[in-house]
Structure formats: structure tokens, C-alpha cells
A and B are shown apart, each in its own frame.
Chain A
Amino acid sequence: MKISSLVWVKTILLTAVAAAISLAQIQNQPDDGQWTMPAKNYASTRFSTAGEINVSNVKNLKLAWTFSTGLTRGHEAAPLVVNNTMYVVTPWPNTLYALDLTKPGAPAKWAYQPNPVPAAQGVACCDVVNRGAFYYNGKIYYNTLDAQTVAVDAATGKEIWKTKLGDINQGETITMAPIVVKGKVLVGDSGGEFGVRGWLAGVDADTGKIAWRAYTTGPDKDVLIGPNFKPFYASERGADLGVKTWQGDQWKIGGGTAWSWISYDPELDLIYYGTSNPGPWNADMRPGDNKWACTIFARRPETGEAIWAYQIFPHDDHDYDAVNENILLDLTINGRLRKVLAHPDRDGRMYIMDRATGEVISAEAFAFQNTTEYVDLKTGRIKIVESKTTGFKTTRDICPAPPGGKDWQPSAFSPRTGLIYIPHNNLCYEIQGVQANYIAGTPYVGANVKMYAGPGGNRGEFTAWDPVNAKAVWKIKEELPVWSGAVVTAGDVVFYGTMDGWFKALDARNGTPLWQFKLGSGTVGQPVVYKGPDGKEYIAILSGVGGWSGAVVSGGLNPAADGTAALGFGNAMADLGKFTTKGGMLYAFALP
């Protein structure tokens, strides 16, 4: 406990400093070489000021050490590095490992086992993944698949508290990495595929007590919409839209989970996150805009109070969750300094929004798409292509597919190049007829969804995007969807990994390939950068293919027998087994 109170004092100081300086300063400040949260900072830039590894010498990068998790499901987590210790959260059973970076080979100091209930595996929609932990105040916070949040002493591995936030018996799981803001651990649920009602909760970081919970659907009092709610567009104003934009009681099973990233702007004191698709899948079954599914919310971290909201895709009929990351940037656009959030959405468009007001500044496509024509910047309303809507009909050649132009895999931003680096997909789909299905003793028919590669035949892309001019600067085609996160450094090197196991370094300025290393299994993880106790710069990433895209390998699904396996992703990923095998392993690289 002595160690943890020292850390506590240090963190209080850091927090006080962080609150006093502007976001622009946070983006550019020299960092201490630690990696305390998956997105590196509250602005979610995934930018490291480390410059030891640069475009000239990255070709000499060598494997420094490895660590096996012994597990074979999808490894989506970002490792953390705090006080010369690396923290790794595994997929189910969600073990937390602490690795001692001061010793050769970084041996494990301890492992904490939360023991989630085995039944959670059957309830998880898309592999039993976990996207990582958050360090705050001497504690490691993370979520378990059976919908619990835990606080673990970062020094000893001792459990401090464990709070049940959701009910696995109702189909609720948690896969996201929490963030901690002003003493609140912010957590959202997964399970939109099971008719749950989505929420984001604020949990007291010291006690584990639930301080607030903001539902995505339902009356304003449940959504925590009050007198301070000032959305930019008229379509988002009005009482109880979370009820009135649904028919009858349908909002009660309306989905809209908050299963992915949260950002925070200390100056505006606002958190930003997106909600998932409305349920059920077939859009004809739920007439109306279905608020607040597929929506970006700005809320106060201490109370959860909603300040503004913007529904990206009203009446979503393609599973276009709005859950992707929101990168907070201060950009000069048309001669005016704007505090923006950059949100690369499942619908294939990069939303640049005024994060103080919720106004859309631009929304251009970074991935091939044919489901929408444009976003009307006056009304905020997206213009849908009628011929690509779904419902009681067969619709073909719809792009992007349900995993979107981009799914959860997080982008990075470099203040040096001014570019956002987007790992993403190039997938289309068709939805036709109906297919016999079966759940809980009950036969039924569901949409027969089949996904396949988009134009060009490549299923993945890595795009460098100019958020000021709203256009791509360069693109790399990848055979498979790029399902790993990205990280970029002051050495102007950008890193990402592929599902066939190549961990790659590119020149962040022009996309020139500089280095690559073959990991044992494909990666769907998030690379991080840290300074070791030896003062050297390290890059670390988990391999271990899986997730929604990789379930064909990690879940042993048979796409040959069932193209609709993994909610239709099986068809697009049938050959993944030719490229990679499963197995979780952490790799750390450094210059010799």
C-alpha cells in the first residue's frame, strides 16, 4: 500500500496539471514515455513524442522480448506501461498480467484473475475480446466479459473493488476499455445483438459505486437530457425523442450500446462517445429515427448530463454503429481555429465536428461507399441512397458492409504531419431472402447477410487523411481488413498490423513501407510506444487473431458450411485460415 500511495500523490499532481493546460498543449507536450490509457491521451491521438526510432533507422528494428498469454481468442487490447511495468488484459477469462520491464525478458510479477462466468462466452456476439485497461491513481481499471468493472492495485495485483454493471442473463457483456475522468470510471455495455438497451455509466473510481447511468433510448430523464441540452441541429431538439422516434415500446429493446471509445476535453469538460446500431436488425420492424442509436453524445463526466447529441445515421439499416473513436483536435479550417472532433464512422465518412456545439464541418468518405450521397451541413441530415436500403427485400452491392468502412480499430493523429492514420475495411455485402435460424428452441428466419471484398478485391486499407481539406493523402491496400489499431510517433513512423500477421512501419509523411515483422498469429491489437527503464524507445503489440473479423479462425467457424457465420462476416473471411493460425503473444521491439 505504501507504493500505491506514492503513485497516488504523483497522479493527483499530473491530473491537476492536465486540467490547467489546453488540449493543444496536451497534443504537443513531451510525454513521459508511459502509456497509461489505450488511446495514449484523453484527446485519443495515439501520438507518441518519442523520436529515437525514426524513418531512417526503423529498418533496424529488432524483436526485444515476447510474452505468451496462452489463449487463442482475439487479442484486441492495448498494453499499458506505467512505472516500468507493462499491464496486459487478455480476452476471456480477462486475466490481467503485470510484467516487470526492469528485468531481462520482462517476466510476469503477478496475474490477477477476475474469474468471469463461463456463460458469458455464449452471450458475446463477436468473439470474447477485451480492448484494454486504464491506469489512474495507482489502480488499473478494466471490464470483464460478464459485465463487471474491476479496480486492481497497480503495484500488488490485489483487487480493490469489483462492480457488476450489467446482467449477462439479459445479454449484456462488456468488451470496451474504460476511461477515468474526474474520479469517474466511464463504462458502456455491449450486446446490441441481444435486444438489450444501451447505456454508459459513471462509476466512482475509489469505491466502485455507480454514480450515474445514461441510457441511449427512452425518456429524457433516462437519457440524462435536461435543461442544458443544446444540440446544434433542430432534428435533435424536442422532448423525449428517445421514445417518440420509436413505435410503441420498441425503445425498450432498441440497442444503442456504448461498446467502444470515449474521449475527454478537460477545457470544455465534455466526454465524447458514440452509440451502436438500433435493434432489431430489420429496419422495417422499427419505423422512425430510432434515437439515440448511431449517435455521438457530448456529456459531463461527473454527472453524465447530456450537453449535445448528433445522430449520424437515423433509422440505421446497415448496422452502422457510431461507436468509433473521436479524436479531439484543434484545427484551422477556412482560416478559423476550430475545436473539432474527428470521427471516422462505420458509414465510411470522416465526420469533422465542432466539439463545443455538435456542428458538422465536413463529412467526406474515406472508404468506398454507396449507401449515402452526402451529409447536409445545414440540417445535419444524411442523404440516404434509397436503392441501397434494406428491409423486406433483397438488396445487393451495398457498401460498406455492416463492419463498416471502419470498425472499432482506432486511428492515430500526428501533429507533425497533420494527418489521421485510419486502419480500415473495404467490404460490401448483400442481404437477401431469409434463412432458417434457431435460438433458444425457437426456429425463425433472419436476414441472410453475405459480405465480400469491395472494389479492387482488397478487403482492407490503411488511409492517411487530411482532416482540414477533408481528403485522403495516401492509401495502402491490404488483402485482409486492417483490424488492428494504429500508432504514430515524432520519428514520423506510423505502425499497424494485419490479420495475416505482418506488423508494419510506414513513413507517416508518404506511406513508404520501411519495415515489417511477421507475428506468430494475425493481429487485431493496438500498438503502443514506451520508454523502457534503459531509456530506449519500444513498440509493443499483441498478436492473436480473432474479433468479429477473425472469428473464422479463432472461433473455429466453418464458413464453407455457413457463409453467414459470424453474422455474415464468415463469407468475407473464409480464407483467413490460409493466412494465419491463432494464439496470443505480446511482442516488444526496439533498436539494437
Chain B
Amino acid sequence: MHSRSLSVLFLSALPLIGADVNVLRVCADPNNLPFSSRSGEGLENRLAELLAHRIGRSVAYTWWSERKNFIEQTLGEDRCDAVMSIPSSLDSAGTTRPYYHSTYVFVSRKDRDLRITSLADSRFSNWRIGIHVVGDDYAPPAYALAHRGLAANITGFSLFGAYGEPNPPARLLDAVASGDVDVAIVWGPLAGYFAARHNTRFDIAPVSPAVYLGVPFRYGISVGVRKGDEPLRQKLDQALDGACTSVQALLRSYGVPQVAEPEGGKACGPRPPSRAASS
């Protein structure tokens, strides 16, 4: 408990007025574990507290479902100063340096011992494959499989699911556990978190190749600020540098599968063990 977080529920659609310099205004989804929850038990909640403490502020939340145009509706309409995790390559917001890199992963039942390592695996044509549908698009691995002519093998699971119930993304792991699908291909932090809390034991392995048909499966994740808000971006970058060890511990505690960052990165996360590790 580094600092007391100040959780405020804004029912009004109006942006906050008279921003307090002692407050870090954060937009977060109220039901999106492992990333964030209204009760404050998500990775992003913990990171927000940690970073706010380091820059001498307290956290004030605006709860906002992370859907299409989330950045425009939150940072863009001045409902908050920062969002705790967005892809570093997103161009609609200012981004800190990535504080972790993760990947889409294969998830299968441990007792089936499938040992999947590659999208090129010929066994995919015999399997039912569960993949999240994010908004109007399938998650990236679906493109690679459809290109191999396996669109019929894919079962889509809405990432939003029944949003009124807890943890909608976890339904995909339930489907692997029940045998409704043979394998799921899931964004790493979701898989790591929900697999650790599931009754079933799973095998989890990073998707390779890392890029297929120009579609990347690995993403750096940054803290997002309003485009042009350099002062805050720099403060948060410094805070991330200073809190590097704590951030890494936090990521581990949420089971985030990390991949080696591109060379020249500044993060204190895992370094590439060798050139052969990926690709």
C-alpha cells in the first residue's frame, strides 16, 4: 500500500473540470481483469498507484469500457490524463517507453500434451481453434489460419462476452478446458492470468512466427497520455525507469508472459538470451 487510491465513479458524461495537480486522472475499464477492475485488483490499478506515488500524486479513476474509440473518448475528451496500458505502436496517443513486451500464446490442456509451437503446425487442420473476436475483427492469429484455408476451424469468442458478468475473456479458456475447442490462441496477459486461476492445467507457448503476413503477434505495451502531453509522458517514463524492479515483480505476479524486447530497449525486463530465441 504505497498510496491510498482515490476511486471516483463518474456517472456524468462530462469531462472533469478543474483538474487537481495532486491527482493523476486515469481512465480504466471497470470489468477487465487482469488489467483493471472497479475494485482495484487489476494490474493497471496497481501500476497506476505505483506510478502516481512516484510522481507525488493520488489516483482518480474515470471508469470507461474499453471499446472502439476508447482513446478518443477518454484521453481525447479530457476525461483523464493517462491510461495504463496501450500498444506502444498506437498512434492516437502519446506513449511512454514499453514497460513490457508480450505475445499471443497457444493454450491447450496439459493432459493432451499437444506441444504446439508454430502456426504452421499441420495438426491445426484437424482442430477446433478458439480465438477472441475483438470488436469487428478477429484477433491476429485468425488471419494466419484463415490464410491457410482454416477459417472453418475457427470458433470466435467475443472478447466482450457477457460484460455484465465477471471476466468475459475467460470463457475462451473454459472452452479449452471443456474440450469445446482443442486449442485457443489468446493474448498472453489474459492467458497467463486466467490459466493460473483455472481448475484445469494448461500448456502455454508463444505463437511463432512472431510476424506472419505482416501481422504481428508481439506487442510492446506502454502507458498512454494525451498526444503532446510531453511533461506527463516524461514524468511517467522516469517513474517507470525508477520503479523498474517493482513493475517487473508486478507483471510476474499477474502471470504476464513476457518476450524479449527488441535490442536497444531500455526496460529492465528479460533480455534476449540468444539470437535464436525467436523468429
Chain A: residues with CB nearer than 8 A to chain B? 118-119, 121-123, 125, 167, 169-171, 192-195, 247-250, 252-253, 279-282, 284-287, 392, 433-434, 436-447, 555-558, 561-562, 565-567
Q: Which of B137, B190, B216 has the most CB of A within 10 A?
A: B137
Distance of A567 Cα from B143 Cα, bound (Å): 20
Distance of A247 Cα from B138 Cα, bound (Å): 15
Query: Does B199 count as interface, using CB distance less than 8 angstroms?
Result: no
> How distant is B42 from chain A, measured CB to nearest CB, in Å?
9
What would be 20 A-B contacts, judged by CB atoms less than 8 Å apart? A118-B13, A119-B65, A170-B161, A192-B136, A193-B135, A247-B151, A250-B154, A253-B133, A282-B143, A285-B154, A286-B151, A437-B135, A439-B70, A439-B159, A443-B86, A444-B139, A445-B140, A445-B143, A446-B136, A557-B72
- Which residues of chain A come closer than 8 Å to B66, judged between CB atoms? 438-441
Distance of A186 Cα from B99 Cα, bound (Å): 51
Which one, B89-97, B234-242, B244-252, is touching chain A?
Answer: B89-97
- Which residues of chain A come closer than 8 Å to B151, judged between CB atoms? 247, 284-287
CB pair A443–B87 under 8 Å, yes or no, is: yes
CB pair A446–B154 under 8 Å, yes or no, is: no
Distance of A439 Cα from B67 Cα, bound (Å): 5
> Contacting B219 at CB < 8 Å: which of A194, A287, A436?
A436
Distance of A281 Cα from B146 Cα, bound (Å): 14
Distance of A352 Cα from B215 Cα, bound (Å): 43
Query: Does B258 count as interface, using CB distance less than 8 angstroms?
Result: no
CB pair A195–B68 under 8 Å, yes or no, is: no
CB pair A438–B90 under 8 Å, yes or no, is: yes
CB pair B135–A285 under 8 Å, yes or no, is: no
> Contacting B159 at CB < 8 Å: which of A121, A250, A440, A558?
A440
A437-B87, A439-B66 known, 10 other contacts, Cβ within 8 Å: A118-B12, A194-B136, A434-B214, A436-B87, A440-B32, A440-B67, A441-B29, A441-B85, A446-B135, A556-B72
Distance of A253 Cα from B135 Cα, bound (Å): 11
Which residue of the partner chain B has the closest CB to A254?
Answer: B156
Distance of A118 Cα from B189 Cα, bound (Å): 29
Which residue of the partner chain A has the closest CB to B224?
Answer: A438
Which residue of the partner chain B has the closest CB to A93?
Answer: B13
CB pair B213–A392 under 8 Å, yes or no, is: yes
> How distant is B232 from chain A, measured CB to nearest CB, in Å?
17
> How distant is A199 from chain B, measured CB to nearest CB, in Å?
16
Given contacts A557-B69, A557-B72, are A248 and B92 in contact (CB under 8 A)? Answer: no
Number of interface residues of B (CB under 8 A): 67
CB pair A440–B162 under 8 Å, yes or no, is: no
Given contacts A195-B158, A442-B159, A444-B134, are A434 and B76 in contact (CB under 8 A)? Answer: no
CB pair B219–A443 under 8 Å, yes or no, is: yes
Query: Does B147 count as interface, using CB distance less than 8 angstroms?
Result: yes
> How distant is A74 from chain B, measured CB to nearest CB, in Å?
14
Query: Does B25 count as interface, using CB distance less than 8 angstroms?
Result: no
Which residue of the partner chain A has the closest CB to B158?
Answer: A195
Query: Does B77 count as interface, using CB distance less than 8 angstroms?
Result: yes
Query: Does B173 count as interface, using CB distance less than 8 angstroms?
Result: no
Query: Does B152 count as interface, using CB distance less than 8 angstroms?
Result: yes
CB pair A561–B227 under 8 Å, yes or no, is: yes
> Contacting B138 at CB < 8 Å: which of A169, A285, A440, A441?
A285
CB pair B32–A441 under 8 Å, yes or no, is: yes
CB pair A556–B76 under 8 Å, yes or no, is: yes
CB pair B69–A565 under 8 Å, yes or no, is: yes
- Which residues of chain B come closer than 8 Å to A442, judged between CB atoms? 132, 134, 139, 159, 169, 187, 190
Which residue of the partner chain B has the closest CB to A246?
Answer: B152
CB pair B134–A247 under 8 Å, yes or no, is: no
CB pair A281–B152 under 8 Å, yes or no, is: no
Query: Does B11 count as interface, using CB distance less than 8 angstroms?
Result: yes
The interface bits of chain B over 160-175 (1 if a CB of A lies within 8 angstroms of the residue's CB, else 0) are 1111110001000000
Given contacts A287-B152, A441-B29, are A282 and B72 in contact (CB under 8 A)? Answer: no
> How distant is B72 from chain A, measured CB to nearest CB, in Å?
5
Distance of A441 Cα from B213 Cα, bound (Å): 23
CB pair A123–B156 under 8 Å, yes or no, is: no
Query: Does B142 count as interface, using CB distance less than 8 angstroms?
Result: yes
Which residue of the partner chain A has the closest CB to B73?
Answer: A122
- Which residues of chain A come closer than 8 Å to B190, judged between CB atoms? 441-442
Which residue of the partner chain B has the closest CB to A248?
Answer: B152
> Contacting B162 at CB < 8 Å: which of A122, A169, A249, A282?
A169
Query: Does B155 count as interface, using CB distance less than 8 angstroms?
Result: yes
CB pair B11–A434 under 8 Å, yes or no, is: no
Distance of A247 Cα from B129 Cα, bound (Å): 13
Closest 3 CB pairs of A and B: A169-B163, A247-B152, A441-B35
> How distant is A562 from chain B, measured CB to nearest CB, in Å?
5
| Interface set, chain B 9-39, CB cutoff 8 A to A | 11-13, 29, 32, 34-36
The interface bits of chain B over 1-15 (1 if a CB of A lies within 8 angstroms of the residue's CB, else 0) are 000000000011100
> How distant is A104 from chain B, measured CB to nearest CB, in Å?
34
CB pair B152–A169 under 8 Å, yes or no, is: no
Query: Does B125 count as interface, using CB distance less than 8 angstroms?
Result: no
Which residue of the partner chain A has the closest CB to B43?
Answer: A441
- Which residues of chain A come closer than 8 Å to B86, judged between CB atoms? 438, 443
Query: Does B64 count as interface, using CB distance less than 8 angstroms?
Result: yes
Query: Does B200 count as interface, using CB distance less than 8 angstroms?
Result: no
CB pair B76–A557 under 8 Å, yes or no, is: yes
- Which residues of chain B come closer than 8 Å to A558, judged between CB atoms? 72, 76, 92, 227
Which residue of the partner chain B has the closest CB to A196?
Answer: B158
CB pair B152–A440 under 8 Å, yes or no, is: no
Which residue of the partner chain A has the closest CB to B35?
Answer: A441
> How distant is A121 from chain B, measured CB to nearest CB, in Å?
6
| Interface set, chain B 33-68, CB cutoff 8 A to A | 34-36, 44, 64-68
- Which residues of chain B come closer than 8 Å to A285, judged between CB atoms? 138, 142-143, 146, 151, 154
- Which residues of chain A come closer than 8 Å to B214, judged between CB atoms? 433-434
Given contacts A170-B160, A285-B146, are A438 and B87 in contact (CB under 8 A)? Answer: yes
CB pair A440–B227 under 8 Å, yes or no, is: no
- Which residues of chain B come closer than 8 Å to A440, judged between CB atoms? 29, 32, 65-67, 134, 159-160, 169
> Contacting B136 at CB < 8 Å: which of A121, A252, A279, A555?
A279
Which residue of the partner chain B has the closest CB to A286?
Answer: B151
Distance of A31 Cα from B89 Cα, bound (Å): 59
Distance of A125 Cα from B68 Cα, bound (Å): 7
CB pair B77–A556 under 8 Å, yes or no, is: yes
> How distant is A166 from chain B, measured CB to nearest CB, in Å?
12
Distance of A446 Cα from B169 Cα, bound (Å): 19
Which residue of the partner chain A has the closest CB to B189?
Answer: A441
> Contacting A194 at CB < 8 Å: which of B34, B44, B135, B164?
B135
> Contacting B137 at CB < 8 Å: which of A122, A248, A280, A557?
A280
- Which residues of chain B come closer than 8 Å to A167, judged between CB atoms? 162, 164
CB pair A436–B89 under 8 Å, yes or no, is: yes
Distance of A170 Cα from B171 Cα, bound (Å): 14
CB pair B32–A446 under 8 Å, yes or no, is: no
Distance of A558 Cα from B227 Cα, bound (Å): 11
- Which residues of chain B come closer than 8 Å to A392, judged between CB atoms? 143, 146-147, 213
Given contacts A171-B160, A441-B29, A441-B66, are A248 and B136 in contact (CB under 8 A)? Answer: no
CB pair A439–B134 under 8 Å, yes or no, is: yes
Distance of A284 Cα from B164 Cα, bound (Å): 31
CB pair B160–A195 under 8 Å, yes or no, is: yes
Given contacts A253-B156, A439-B159, A442-B190, are A193 and B136 in contact (CB under 8 A)? Answer: yes
Q: Which of B69, B86, B133 has the most CB of A within 10 A?
A: B69
Distance of A440 Cα from B65 Cα, bound (Å): 8
